[in-house]
Structure formats: structure tokens, C-alpha cells
Structure 1
Amino acid sequence: MVWLVLAFFATALLYASVGFGGGSTYSALLALGGLDYRVLPLVSLACNIVVVAGSTVRFSRAGILPWRRALLLTALAAPAALIGGLTPIGERNFLLLLGASLVLTGVTLLIPVARSSEARATSAARFAPFAAPPLGYLAGLVGIGGGIFLAPLLHLVRWAEAKSIAATAALFILVNSLFGLVGQILKGGEGRFEAAIGFGLPLLVAVAIGGQIGSYLVVKFLPQRWIRWMTAGLTLFVGVRLVLDHI
């Protein structure tokens, strides 16, 4: 358990520093730790909620969350996240899908983020809402928030400036994680939920502390690009290992 607590702390610290929750990596670490795959989405989604809740509040208070547009994406994704949480899936398929999503996550973290707020949105930006439901479904199914896939897409079509996209991704992750967690609880029943709470309490404390440090301190000491590369490296390593172990 000690190594898991430390790994969750580091993951939350890194992911929070680049604006995400870390749910995909939490799930993978739990899988590598041997936790029942039916329980681990509950733990990782709860950790996601702890990390991004504070970020969402801060973005809102700073006035950089585009509420109307962000709520549209979130409203389209949330029901799909609930359905994903309710969907039965076998262990091998779950772990393969989780590993593949981690590899894709690592790749998206390597995509350069445009800093300019002057560039106009592309014509494809209007179609961004169509990506929300499948991302929400994936979020609920494997215990992630989906924002780490949404954000690069929004950057690609220049949907908004970088800070507004980060704020939108945080809200997207928060709501999807809540709906996905409800779906997982309804699917697994009270017994599985109690098992997740009993196992995951130290991890929730670790990500709460790590997430706060990532939000407030890390970006002051390391360039954002280095943090993204370290996060991508961790994610790719765990994702590739999961895929190779379960092909």
C-alpha cells in the first residue's frame, strides 16, 4: 500500500500541474497492484473528483471558465459516462482498453499546446460537442474523466484560449467522474462500494495533498513543458505495460 500511496501522490501532483485529474493512471496503478478490476474504477474516479474539484472552483473564481460552452460539452458527456459506468465488461477487455487509453493519453500529452489567444477558431470547432458523448462513455467505462482527450481536441480546433480549455477540461472531468462513479456504484452494489472506500481512503488523502501541491507549487519551479513530458513518460510506461501483459 505504501508504494501505491506514493505513486498516487506523484500522479496527482503531475496531472494537477497540467490541468488534469489522473484517473487513467490511477486505474492502471491499481491494476498493476492487483486490485479487483471491478473495484478499481470506483477508487480512481473518486480520486479524480478530489483532484479536479479544487481546480474547477479556482477556474470559476478567476472568471476563465466559459460556462455556457463548457456546460454544453459536459451535459452531452455526462449521461454517456453514467451508461459507461453501468456497462459490464470482462477483465481482459477492461485492462486492454485501459492500457490503450493510457497510451493515447501519453501521446496527447506530447502534443504542443498553443499559447496564443489571438488565433481564431477553425471551422471544425463547431463540431467539438459531437466528441463529448464517446469520451463520456469511455470515462465511465474505465474510470477516467475524459478531459485529457477533450483538451487536445479543443486545442487542435482552437476552440478557446488555453486557460479556458483547461478550465473546461477540469469541469468535464469532474462531472464525468461523478456520473461514472454513480454508474459504477449502481452496477456493483453496496458491497463493492464499501470495499472501494475501505481500500481507497489513504489514496484519497494522498491525491488531495498531491493535487494541491501540483496546482500551487510545481509550475513555479519546473517549466510546464518538462512536467508534461514527465507525465507523458509515466503514462506511456504504465499503458504499454498493461497492453503487453494482456494481449
Structure 2
Amino acid sequence: MSVWEVLAIILAGLAAGTINTIVGSGTLVTFPTLLFFGYPPVSANISNSLGLVPGGLTGAWGYRHELRSLGPMLRRLAPASLLGSVLGALLLLVLPPAAFEAIVPVLIALALLLVILGPRLQRWAAAHHAERITPGRWVVLLLGVLVAGMYGGYFGAAQGVLLLGIMSILLPLRLQQMNGIKNVLGMIVNFVAAMVFLVVAPEHVNWTIVLLISIGSLLGGVVGARVGRAMPPWLLRAVIVVIGTVAILNLVL
């Protein structure tokens, strides 16, 4: 492995950790980088999931102030992310890539629409006295988090966009609070999926790649939290839409 390759992978990890903390979709940086240097797709995907876990930790810690009062909610949502990530990781090992290629761009496009319409839908809900989360909304929310976790365990790119889209219409919270929740749930998905890969398919793990991406993503989580928390809601939504659109184009083209 050359010095340039090492630096490129660390920088890709830094960018991915930053993007994941602000929005999600950091995998769209690291995964193509690994493919460019000739690593097999399954090995690149699994090693990438492991390498992004440290970035999830620092990103979630960076949003700790927004999460102070949301512990009970996280405890209710976390099991759905955990189960979804296990299912998604297992699907990666048994299904052909074409199985998800058709539906993933549609899911991301729907998530972007929900992010854009989130404030208007939240105002409508407030006008109809829906400030509290009803049992029906909890069921829909948990199912949405489960599906996002499955997608995250399978591939991961734009998982954050999916989560933010789902939460934008179902939770009466500020966008920065939802971003904090997204970071914690995304960290859980990456970590659990990585553990499944270690148990079921350890031969696909490239520990050098894991180490290099971990170094970059660890720093990226810190940078992303500082940048993301400083963004006004309108700018954060704009960034989400731009990155989500790039994700769709990347997956389709």
C-alpha cells in the first residue's frame, strides 16, 4: 500500500465522518474510494462499516446537548435500529446487489421530499393538536426506523437522509434534535452490522482499511458535529437535499 493510498483512504474517512454527522451518506465517499484502489466490493463495504463506527461515536457525542431530554425516545427507537441492522447485514451476505438497486433511489427521493416538507407537515400536525406522538405514529416511526436500519446494515449510504425524512413528519422536534437522534441510531446500525460481519464473514474484513477509515472518521465526527450544530435549519435542510440528490444520481448512474 503506497503512501498516497493511505492518505487518500484516511481523507475519505475524514470526509465520510464529517458528512455522516451532518447529514449521512458518507459511504458515498469511502466506498468508491476503496473500489478505485481495487478492493473487492463486499470486503470494501464490510471494512467501511467497521471503519465508520468511531466517527459515529464522536458525532453522537458532539450532539449530546441536543439529546439531553431525548433519552426515553432513543431507548424506544434503538431496538428497531438494532434489529434492522442485523437483518440488513445478513441480507448483504445472501442477496445479489441488484435486489436493492431498484428501490434504494426511490427511498432516498421519498426521504428528501419528507425533509423538504417537514416544517409544513409539522405545522399542520400542530394545528390539529398532534404535538404528542400518538400510538399510531409510534408504530409508523418504529417501522420506518426498522427499514432505515435494514438499509443501513445492507449498504448505509443516505441512511441518515432516510431517518431525517421519517422523523421530519412524525416527531415534533427541532431539526438539530432529530439530527442528534439520527447520529445515535446511525452509530448503532454501523456498529451492530459490523459485529454481524465479524461473526459471520470475518474473511471479508480488511483490518488495514478499517484502521485507516477509523482514523479519518474519528476526526470527521468531531468536525461534523461542530459544523452541523452551527448550521441554521434552512441551510441544514439544503445540505441534506443536495447530498441526497447526489446519492440518488450516484446510485442510478
Q: Which TM-score tier does this pair reach, normalised by the shorter chain? A: 0.7 to 0.9
* 1:152 and 2:161 correspond: no
* 1:243 and 2:243 correspond: no
Tell me the alpha carbon deviations over residues 124-177 of structure 1, each in whole angstroms, 9 at most, x when there is no partner.
633311222222222212245834312221111234333332222122111111
State the shift of 1:25 in Å.
4.7
- Pick one of 200, 212, 235 that aligns with 2:210: 200
Change (3 A) 1:109 1:14: farther
**Partners of 1:101 and 1:150 in 2: how far apart?**
14
Q: How many residues align?
A: 239
**Partners of 1:61 and 1:153 in 2: how far apart?**
22
Change (3 A) 1:97 1:33: farther
Q: Report which stretch shifted further, 226-235 or 123-132.
A: 226-235
Q: Judge conservation of contact 2:18–2:222 (CA < 8 Å) in 1.
A: yes
Change (3 A) 1:54 1:168: same
**Partners of 2:90 and 2:151 in 1: how far apart?**
11
- Pick one of 90, 96, 101 that aligns with 1:96: 101
Counterpart of 1:111? 116
* 1:64 and 2:68 correspond: yes
State the shift of 1:51 in Å.
1.8
Counterpart of 1:142? 155
**Partners of 1:184 and 1:73 in 2: how far apart?**
23
**Partners of 1:111 and 1:158 in 2: how far apart?**
15
**Partners of 1:179 and 1:173 in 2: how far apart?**
10
Q: Judge conservation of contact 2:12–2:29 (CA < 8 Å) in 1.
A: no
Change (3 A) 1:97 1:45: farther
**Partners of 2:217 and 2:107 in 1: how far apart?**
19
Counterpart of 2:226? 216
Q: Judge conservation of contact 1:145–1:172 (CA < 8 Å) in 2.
A: no
- Pick one of 11, 15, 23 that aligns with 1:6: 11
Change (3 A) 1:30 1:6: same
Counterpart of 1:73? 77
**Partners of 1:139 and 1:183 in 2: how far apart?**
13
Q: Report which stretch shifted further, 169-178 or 47-56.
A: 47-56
Counterpart of 1:177? 190
**Partners of 1:31 and 1:91 in 2: how far apart?**
18
Q: Secondary structure at the match of 1:38?
A: helix
Q: Judge conservation of contact 1:106–1:233 (CA < 8 Å) in 2.
A: no
Counterpart of 2:180? 167
Q: Judge conservation of contact 2:111–2:162 (CA < 8 Å) in 1.
A: no
Q: Any stretches of 5+ residues in structure 2 without a counterpart?
A: none
Percent sequence identity is 12
Tell me the alpha carbon deviations over residues 76-133 of structure 1, each in whole angstroms, 9 at most, x when there is no partner.
2312311221232456427836963795498369626649899425756333112222
Tell me the alpha carbon deviations over residues 15-74 of structure 1, each in whole angstroms, 9 at most, x when there is no partner.
3234x4734553354445543121123233224322221232344456535122222111
Q: Any stretches of 5+ residues in structure 1 without a counterpart?
A: none
**Partners of 1:32 and 1:202 in 2: how far apart?**
16
Q: What RMSD over aligned residues (CA atoms) do the two structures have, in Å?
A: 3.7
For residue 176 of structure 2, what is the amino acid of its counterpart? K
Change (3 A) 1:106 1:72: closer
